[in-house]
Amino acid sequence: MIEQLLAHRTIRKYKNTLVAEETVNRILEAGCRASTTGNMQLYSIVITKSEEGKKALASCHFNQPMVVNAPLVLTFCADFNRFNKWCNLSKAEPDYDNFLSFMTAAIDALLVAQNITIAAESEGLGVCYLGTTTYLAAKIIDILNLPKGVVPVTTLTIGWPDENPAQVDRLPLDAIIHQETYTDYTDDQILTAYREKESRPDSMQFVAENNKETLAQVFTDIRYKRSDNVAFSNMLLGVLKEQGFMNQ
């Protein structure tokens, strides 16, 4: 298991081969054994296989080709709808129309998504995590017909790999791990932590093709700039209100 986790790669190209239903169900069963707040399982997973459905979802993920090419697209949703209905049918009054409840359900959904990633890779499948899910959440809600109390929080494309890409870099452990309490970083520690990332040929190419001076500028000025962050933040806050999580 440790070796499998250390070998993780993002797979964006897939063979034109379906994943057997038995394999899918085994992955889902393993995924749903993930830890969950209070054993409430505050998540739902919408599986999209049809070409029409995948094309519709692709428009919500900046038309990244793997959304259409993967045999499976799994949208993980924070879901209080099911739990609220159970409470109402069981003489209990649910009061989960608040931001904390959304966070609780979102964490549950992300935990099960990671479990499914590990389970899929253990079967030899490839996985790509889409961090774009919350950007156009309102559109995904319409496409997947999500009721109030349900918000999409992440997406995985899954299929048989048709590539063997190099692993992406990670920061060294000593840049991430803190013992007992958080120890803030000195300037030298920050520069040391990011030196290897900045010196990679792909990073330097990234800087050059975007006409920037540093890799950090690519992130702040191009990839995740303030105007986009503010716009998508406001859109997501609107989704949370519409879906019933901002009433208190």
Cα(246)–Cα(98) distance, integer angstroms: 5
Give the model's pLDDT for residue 247.
82
Could you list the pLDDT tens digit for every one of the 248 residues in the chain? 999 999 999 999 999 999 999 999 999 999 999 999 999 999 999 999 999 999 999 999 999 999 999 999 999 999 999 999 999 999 999 999 999 999 999 999 999 999 999 999 999 999 999 999 999 999 999 999 999 999 999 999 999 999 999 999 999 999 999 999 999 999 999 999 999 999 999 999 999 999 999 999 999 999 999 999 999 999 999 999 999 999 86
Give the model's pLDDT for residue 105.
98
**Residue 160 carries which DSSP code?**
-
Which domains are seen in the chain, by residue range? 2-166 (3.40.109.10)
Cα(107)–Cα(157) distance, integer angstroms: 19
Cα 185 versus chain centre, distance: 28
Handedness of CA 116, 122, 128, 131 (dihedral sign): positive
Residues with Cβ < 8 Å from 130, sequence gap 6 or more? 61, 64, 67, 154, 155, 156, 157
- Closest among 40, 62, 48 to 159, alpha carbons compared: 48
- Closest among 134, 139, 21 to 72, alpha carbons compared: 21
Output the pTM of the full model: 0.95
- For tokens 């040929």, the residue is 201
Cα(181)–Cα(237) distance, integer angstroms: 32
110 bridge partner residues: none
For residue 150, what is the enclosing H or E element?
Answer: strand 150-159
Orientation angle between helical segments 21-31 and 99-122, nearest 10 degrees: 130
Give the model's pLDDT for residue 202.
93
Give the model's pLDDT for residue 234.
96
Give the model's pLDDT for residue 248.
65
- For tokens 């899910």, the residue is 133
| Angle at 80 (CA atoms; ends 76, 85), nearest 5 degrees | 130
Give the model's pLDDT for residue 78.
98
Q: Rounded to 10 degrees, what is the CA torsion of 57, 59, 65, 70?
A: 0
Give the model's pLDDT for residue 157.
98
